[in-house]
């Protein structure tokens, strides 16, 4: 095994250990004091940095409420929210997903479902190429080719064409993808589905992909970001906040208008601003309009039951997520997320108010 493969293997081991969910590391449900209300949730890693901040701040103001959220991936969050066939300890009071829920999944929930958009953000293509900090641009042909496995080297003519004057290294591209069922994967592949006919015919939009080209894989947004950080020549898709947290570089991507846009608070906000929510509050933006819009963005939803058997818990859940929709949005920008536009907040709050009893 050559030195590069040894490095990648060690990096993958680091991620495998660091990317374990709290439950996988043996952390049990937190103990609560007498009279406290425990709210259990699980799902998307995409919004987990923001959720961690929200729940911490809310518990400071309401010490009688304990929120225990496990970032296990959108697919797992949907499974635990549906709850069919799960042992009692795996049931949750809410789920979270960047892929929302399909009609078929919703039909499996006897108590009914409310999909509540809570935040939004960009999916960055983070890379590790020493000497190219803040300089890399990728056309649609370039980044779709990388993840289709047809572009294998950093000095490929397709990448060189969109980086005139830039000395690209003669280095093998090490693509990084999610190993778990993921809403971030869904957002990224839904974009690929919208912009590339070959991807559309072969794969489409999915939460879990049998990736071509044999990319490295890691669990969760943090796992992908960590693997990129430790692997020279790598590139992977990751929520912008995690890229920032680990100090990763992110490529400027060609948008629908043909402009190269760096993922940022401003460019993701420009993309989200055009969103119009239907009555079911489920909308996707696979290729946003606008000259300054970043091309890969997504909303992220919490999954709530229409009816809760515990009236006190239903009341706490309504108040918790109402606080997140209004006061909690101020924490978004510093963590790399997009505060929801007022028109989305008002529709989300109206749906939240219908939670019974």
With 90 as the cut, is the pLDDT of residue 24 above it?
Answer: no
Q: Where are the domains of the chain?
A: 37-121+296-352, 124-272
Q: In Å, how far are 39, 164, 172, 261 from 135, measured between CA atoms?
A: 44, 11, 18, 12
Residue 14: is its pLDDT beyond 60? no
| pLDDT at site 32 | 66
Q: What is the pLDDT of residue 19?
A: 47
Q: Is the pLDDT of residue 292 over 60?
A: yes
For 15, residues 6+ apart whose C-beta sits below 8 A from its C-beta are: 218, 219, 223, 224, 226, 227, 230
Point out the least confidently predicted range of 107-116, 185-194, 266-275.
266-275
Task: Report the chain's mean pLDDT, rounded to a whole number.
Answer: 91
Helix or strand (DSSP H, E) at 348: helix 342-352
Q: Whole-angstrom Cα distance, residue 191 to residue 118?
A: 21
Of 32-36, 99-103, 130-134, 224-228, which gets the smallest average pLDDT?
Answer: 32-36
pLDDT at residue number 17 = 41
Summarised one tens digit per residue, pLDDT across range 155-171 is: 999 999 999 999 999 99
Q: What value does the mean pLDDT take over residues 120-125?
A: 97
Nearest-angstrom CA–CA distance, 347 and 328: 16
- Per-residue model confidence (pLDDT) at position 87: 82
| CB-count burial class (<10 Å; 0-12, 13-18, 19+) for 11 | buried
Common-topology check for domains 37-121+296-352 and 124-272: yes
pLDDT band at residue 22 using 50, 70 and 90 as cut-offs: very low
Higher-pLDDT residue of 36 and 228 is: 228
Reported confidence tier of residue 31, pLDDT bands at 50, 70, 90: low
Query: What pLDDT, on a 0 to 100 scale, did the predictor assign at position 28?
Result: 56
Residue 62 scores a pLDDT above 70:
yes
Residue 13 has pLDDT above 50, yes or no: no
Q: What is the pLDDT of residue 25?
A: 36
Average pLDDT over residues 65-90: 92
pLDDT digits (tens, 9 = 90+) for 129-159: 988 888 899 999 999 999 999 999 999 999 9
- Of the candidate ranges 1-5, 107-111, 275-279, the one whose mean pLDDT is the lowest: 1-5
Question: Percent helix, strand and coil across the chain, each rounded to 5?
Answer: 40, 20, 40
CB 209 within 8 A of CB 203: yes
pLDDT of residue 137: 98
User: pLDDT band at residue 84, thresholds of 50, 70 and 90?
Assistant: confident
Statement: 124-272 belongs to CATH 3.40.50.261: no
> Residue 20 — pLDDT band, cuts 50, 70, 90?
very low
* pLDDT score of 49: 97
CB-based burial, 149-181: b 16+ in 10 Å, e otherwise: eebeebebebbeebbeeeebeeeebbbbbbbbb
**Fold assignment, 37-121+296-352:** D-Maltodextrin-Binding Protein; domain 2 (3.40.190)
């Amino acid at each position: 095994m050559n030195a590069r493969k040894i490095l990648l293997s060690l990096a993958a081991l680091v991620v495998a250990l660091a990317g374990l969910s709290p439950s996988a590391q043996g952390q049990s449900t937190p103990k609560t004091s007498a009279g406290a209300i425990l709210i259990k949730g699980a799902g998307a890693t995409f919004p987990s940095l923001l959720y961690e901040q929200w729940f911490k701040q809310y518990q400071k103001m309401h010490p009688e409420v304990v929120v225990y959220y496990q970032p296990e991936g959108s697919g797992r969050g949907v499974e635990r929210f549906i709850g069919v066939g799960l042992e009692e300890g795996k049931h949750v009071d809410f789920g979270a997903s960047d892929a929302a829920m399909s009609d078929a999944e919703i039909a499996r929930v006897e108590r009914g479902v409310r999909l509540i958009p809570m935040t939004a953000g960009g999916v960055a293509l983070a890379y590790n190429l020493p000497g190219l900090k803040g300089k890399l641009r990728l056309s649609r042909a370039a980044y779709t080719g990388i993840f289709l496995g047809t572009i294998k080297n950093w000095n490929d003519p397709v990448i060189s064409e969109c980086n005139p004057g830039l000395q690209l290294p003669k280095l093998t591209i090490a693509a990084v993808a999610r190993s778990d069922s993921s809403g971030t994967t869904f957002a990224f592949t839904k974009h690929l589905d919208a912009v590339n006919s070959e991807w559309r015919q072969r794969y489409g939009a999915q939460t879990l992909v049998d990736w071509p080209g044999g990319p490295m894989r890691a669990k969760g947004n943090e796992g992908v970001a960590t693997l990129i950080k430790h692997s020279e020549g790598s590139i992977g898709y990751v929520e912008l906040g995690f890229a920032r947290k680990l100090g990763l570089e992110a490529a400027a991507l060609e948008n629908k208008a043909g402009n190269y846009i760096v993922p940022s608070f401003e460019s993701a906000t420009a993309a989200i601003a055009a969103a119009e929510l239907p009555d079911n509050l489920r909308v996707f933006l696979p290729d946003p309009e606008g000259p300054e819009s970043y091309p890969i963005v997504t909303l992220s939803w919490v999954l709530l039951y229409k009816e809760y058997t515990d009236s006190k818990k239903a009341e706490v859940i309504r108040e918790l997520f109402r606080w997140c929709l209004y006061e909690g949005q101020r924490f978004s920008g510093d963590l790399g997320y997009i505060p929801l536009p007022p028109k989305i907040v008002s529709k989300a709050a109206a749906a939240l108010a219908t939670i019974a009893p």
